[in-house]
Structure 1
Amino acid sequence: MRQDFLFTSESVSEGHPDKVADQISDAVVDLFLSKDPQARIACETLTTTQLVVLAGEIRCKGVYEDGKWAEGAEAEIEKTVRETVKRIGYEQDGFHWQTFKFLNNLHAQSAHIAQGVDESGNKDEGAGDQGIMFGYATDETPDYLPATLYYSHRILERMAEDRHSKAVPFLEPDAKSQVTLQYENGVPVRATALVVSTQHAPGYFDDGSEGSDAARYKQLRDYVVGVFNDVLPQGFISDATAIYVNPTGKFEIGGPDGDAGLTGRKIIVDTYGGASPHGGGAFSGKDPTKVDRSAAYIARYMAKNIVAAGLAKRCTIQLSYAIGIAEPLSLYVDTHGTGTVDEAKIEQVLPTLVRLTPKGIREHLQLNKPIYQRTASYGHFGREPDGDFFSWEKTDLVEKLKAAL
């Protein structure tokens, strides 16, 4: 394992067009699960200039049964979508929560998928699809996330708080961040480059054109640099740190008006910032029978508890599934040379502590609840457990792991 290197991760704000799509998809998931905990949802969202389109397959008692919508159900979906966009903060000519065109193309789940997934007779509930899922944890930060991703998220969360509170009048919803850290002896010690590109109100960029205002751009830049200094540890930023604020120039046209957004295009932002492998499946818009989501959550849960138990400084876990089959096809543990226990022994113990079938995962983490919209911005992992929310971030497996290993 390398000890001295540079590493970079990025994050995007809740107003990024792809994240708008993710939040809409998960708002639909939450709506359906609030009506029927056994609902099946695969909801994809497209956003662009003054347009939101839903597509996918669903099944939900009291909402959509036998190929028909219940009375008022479509109107409730549209209301949910518009309220999601309003909460994010889009009231712009090119994308406004009240006036965008809305198209709902959700339809019935395939009967051929349902027959493999549903529990029946002596048949356990099967996985909703084939695939591989990864979980990862590191002791670099208190949230067991890679430091580069942790700080990328925190920068944008702070900016969103300031925007929503109106403490900063020139911020608009769309933004991206990027953090590059120098690691020495495997530990992050300084920032070598920090980047933020943020949508802003008109007049906050000096590009040399008539009416541009260097003083107002300085106000924007000084604000962002202040956020960097507040979020990163003391001493991480120095005169040698390369700082870029809106390096391409003006960023007044943003969000879905500036670029189309699609559900599931920010899977590295959603997970570990590139520090871990990714199986390729997105999370948002999927009910927890889809192992792309639920198995990735349980893999994170197991990896985090292994690191929290002091059994390793870093841990990667892979699970694999086949559609319609309940038990995972494989379980792989890698502690990257930092472990105090043989990985093969950990692989033997984990299935005795957590049932790794789709149903077992959902029951262990209590996933059949409307808890998903909050996951769709600033990462699915490294979040504080809060009642039913982010149950996969709990460290309640630590003592059982210590006792078994």
Structure 2
Amino acid sequence: MITIQSAESVCQGHPDKIADIIADAILDDLIRQDPYTRASIEAVITTGVIYVAGEISTTAYSDIPTIARNTLIDIGYTKSEYGFDGYTAGVITSISDQSPELALGIPSGGAGDTSIIVGYATNETENYMPLACNIANSITEKLDNLRKDDIIPFLRPDGKAIVVVEYKDGKPVRVDSITILAQHEPYVSEKELKEVIMEEIIKKLQYQNYIDEKTKIIINPIGRFVIGGPMADTGLTGRKTIADAYGTAAASGGSSFSGKDPTKIDRSASYMARMIAKHIVASGLADRCNVEMLYVIGMDYPVSINVNIYQEKNITKYIKEIFDLSVNGIIDFLDLRRPIYKKTSSYGHFGRNDDDFKWEELNKDILSKLSK
């Protein structure tokens, strides 16, 4: 049977991703000073203005306007002709204390929210991520690096990649299409842009064996993409949940990750669910695994767990024995009270090789227990 899976990834200069990065940059600054910070931070990005709102409970102080502007500069919004830059953008903040009712469940170790959690892994790639996700994320990361390193000087910060992969009997067989939207300076021609992206990105992709003569390569389909970023579109934290996770390979729990401290179980338990799924696949128990959990505000453990390995075998009860799925257990095991969050917000939260991403590490003891 022929099926398809797709994935989207956006560059750091995409309006929604700017909002994610700013929210996590502020969170990192707070957690660096107070590891027990409780925060739910969101940003809205529009032409010339950044709105930062949310609820924070902390002993730390964060200079939010400076962090927001410096983040814009780091991303590459440094020129007035972009219509939005870190030197002139206005920053408006509206921060309040966390609701005392919401806080009731947290001191006892209860979940800080009610959330559906999803984790996924597959053995179709070396990092146990869907193929389309790996290709899409590698494209946007490459676009950003080529721009920041001045290798392609005519690129601007906004951009996007969408990849569609064809499967036969559950296995990837070819890339059906690759679409790249790359913001650029007005002086570059459409022909030059497409030639450079073909040479510097498409032809250097890791998964060339999946690209064939029928693969559709689409680059800036309307020709020009000069006006982009917040000048063209409003950005909002948490609007790229599918891009942050597994594309269409797995369902979305519906909650965003960025701007939330680890007591917000929709973030921390999503990392744990990924770790569980990855260990199940890496142990050889299954070719792919989907983990679903439901946490209820104020309750320590999930009220529902389902581990689907697409076989008749049910291993959910073993997962409860191997992994501590309590709120504090997840935070401690993954060491989440650290300022690691800003870098999670670009190119997906999963499948990345980074020492700070404990949910991506394979634990020999866990693999041994799963293999028995």
TM-score normalized by the length of structure 2? 0.96
Shift of 1:232: 4.3
Shift of 1:187: 2.3
Is 1:7 equivalent to 2:5 in the alignment? yes
| 8 A contact 1:307–1:313 mirrored in 2 | yes
Look up the match of 2:360: 393
Find 2:258's aligned residue among 249, 268, 284. 284
Change in CA separation of 1:347 and 1:238 when aligned onto 2, cut-off 3 Å: closer
Q: Deviations over 1:54-97 (max 9, x none)?
A: 0010011143xxxxxxxxx4xx2222111111110012331110
Aligned AA (2:208): Q
1:104-253 equivalences in 2 (<5 Å): 104-119=93-108, 125-204=109-188, 216-226=189-199, 227-253=201-227
| 8 A contact 1:132–1:318 mirrored in 2 | yes
- Provide the secondary structure at the position in 2 that maps to 1:202: coil
Separation (CA, whole Å) in 2 of partners of 1:137 and 1:383? 13
Of all paired residues, the percent bearing the same amino acid is 40
Shift of 1:158: 1.2
Find 2:85's aligned residue among 96, 102, 105. 96
Look up the match of 1:273: 247
Separation (CA, whole Å) in 2 of partners of 1:31 and 1:233? 37
Separation (CA, whole Å) in 2 of partners of 1:355 and 1:235? 40
- Provide the secondary structure at the position in 2 that maps to 1:191: strand
- Provide the secondary structure at the position in 2 that maps to 1:331: strand
Separation (CA, whole Å) in 2 of partners of 1:62 and 1:28? 11
From the CA coordinates, give the structure whose radius of gyration is larger.
1
Separation (CA, whole Å) in 2 of partners of 1:293 and 1:193? 31
Look up the match of 2:353: 384
- Provide the secondary structure at the position in 2 that maps to 1:117: coil
Separation (CA, whole Å) in 2 of partners of 1:378 and 1:244? 20
Runs of 4+ in 1 over 6 A off after TM superposition: none
Aligned AA (1:57): E
- Provide the secondary structure at the position in 1 that maps to 2:66: helix
Shift of 1:108: 0.8
Look up the match of 1:255: 229
| 8 A contact 2:50–2:90 mirrored in 1 | yes
- Provide the secondary structure at the position in 2 that maps to 1:348: helix
- Provide the secondary structure at the position in 1 that maps to 2:208: coil
Separation (CA, whole Å) in 1 of partners of 2:291 and 2:231? 39
Look up the match of 2:51: 53
Separation (CA, whole Å) in 1 of partners of 2:55 and 2:97? 5
Shift of 1:355: 1.2
Shift of 1:186: 2.5
| 8 A contact 1:331–1:347 mirrored in 2 | yes
TM-score normalized by the length of structure 1? 0.88
- Provide the secondary structure at the position in 2 that maps to 1:140: coil
Cα-Cα RMSD:
1.4
Structure 2: unaligned runs, 5 residues or longer: none
| 8 A contact 1:317–1:333 mirrored in 2 | yes
- Provide the secondary structure at the position in 1 that maps to 2:134: helix
Q: Deviations over 1:290-319 (max 9, x none)?
A: 011011110000000110111110000011
Shift of 1:192: 2.0
| 8 A contact 1:306–1:398 mirrored in 2 | no
| 8 A contact 1:21–1:262 mirrored in 2 | yes
Is 1:372 equivalent to 2:341 in the alignment? yes
| 8 A contact 2:30–2:60 mirrored in 1 | no
Aligned AA (2:47): T
Separation (CA, whole Å) in 1 of partners of 2:197 and 2:67? 32
- Provide the secondary structure at the position in 1 that maps to 2:116: strand
| 8 A contact 1:26–1:284 mirrored in 2 | yes
| 8 A contact 2:43–2:52 mirrored in 1 | yes
* Larger mean Cα displacement after TM superposition, 265-274 or 79-88: 79-88
Shift of 1:126: 0.6
